Amino acid sequence: VTGRHRRIRIELAYDGTDFAGWQVQPDLRTVQGTVETALSRILGGATARLRGAGRTDAGVHARGQVADALVDTRLDDPELLIALASLLPADVRPVDLRMVPDDFHSRKLALSKTYVYRLDRSRWGNPLDARYTLHYPYEIDRDAMQEALGKLPGRRDWAGFAGSASAVESTVRDLAVASYEEPGPDSGRFTFRADGFLNHMVRNLVGTLLDVARGRFPPGRIDEILRTGDRTLAGPTAPARGLCLEEVFYPPLLEAGEERRA
């Protein structure tokens, strides 16, 4: 299987701190632009268009972003991966690269995505976590938090948690997981899994849940926002730095694309 013209699926991890987000923008350093430039060099100058599963905002990180591109090269997948790894900077790294069927589409075919939002709960802030967490040394009412989280899972209209900039056709999404854990004495971690997320949805959910956890809102505020779709009832948008796109899930057959084609 050394077809020259083929579609590849690239899994990527990045530290979003020094990127203006995923999507290409003129004169700004973006993840998509950085990877496209590296691919283009490998392809001898030919344009490479990368399609990402999720358009992460400026400052948002990823451990398992997925993107795909059409490439025309004599390099096989392992060679392409080595070339890409050698050209990419330290803050965006390939995790995996492999051929997929021509009809693979990172965003459209994604079944679900998992985002994690991390808190640093130490009193004065841990400088070795500062880029990847929200420093939140305040009390957390875990009962109120769990009650609020319990109201979230399901197929719902999330308009009240969508950023004002969004202009999508539908604001209905199916949220499978919404949880909060404390993996260590000084850390907190929200996990959200859904078939899709609206612009700023996770950060607005976190901002609202933290307001519930510190007693600013009762847990019932969640029902109210979901019912009315009124963004002004929700909490603030939590900062980007705590957010990370952890994993994108695809149907098993697409995951095994290479064998299917062979």
Catalytic residues, by residue number, are 57
State the residue for tokens 């070795």: 128
- Which residue in the set 29, 63, 98, 189 belongs to the binding site for a second copy (CB under 8 A)? 63
Structure tokens at 206: 């976190």
Interactions with a second copy, residue window 114-133 (CB under 8 A): 124-128, 130-132
Q: Does position 14 bind a second copy by CB under 8 A?
A: yes
Q: How far is CA 22 from the centre of its chain?
A: 10
SS3 225: helix
Q: Rounded to whole angstroms, how far apart are CA atoms 133 and 226?
A: 27
Q: Applying CB under 8 A, which part among 7-15, 100-108, 158-166, 229-237 lies near a second copy?
A: 7-15
List Cβ neighbours of 77 (8 Å cut-off, separation of 6 or more): 8, 97, 98, 99
Site string for a second copy, 233-262 (x = CB under 8 A): -----------x------------------
Among 91-99, 141-149, 156-164, 189-197, the segment contacting a second copy (CB under 8 A): 91-99
Q: Is the Cβ of residue 13 or residue 256 nearer to a second copy in the bound state? A: 13
Question: What's the closest the beta carbon of residue 63 comes to a second copy, in angstroms?
Answer: 7
**Which of 66, 92, 110, 234 contacts a second copy by CB under 8 A?**
92
Task: Give the interface size with a second copy as a residue count (CB under 8 A).
Answer: 22
Please tell me the chain's helix, strand, coil percentages from 3-state DSSP, rounded to the nearest 5.
30, 30, 45
The answer to whether the CB of 101 falls within 8 A of the CB of 227 is: no
83/247 Cα distance (integer angstroms): 24
Q: Give me the residues that bind a second copy (CB under 8 A), please.
A: 13-15, 61, 63, 81, 85, 90-95, 124-128, 130-132, 244
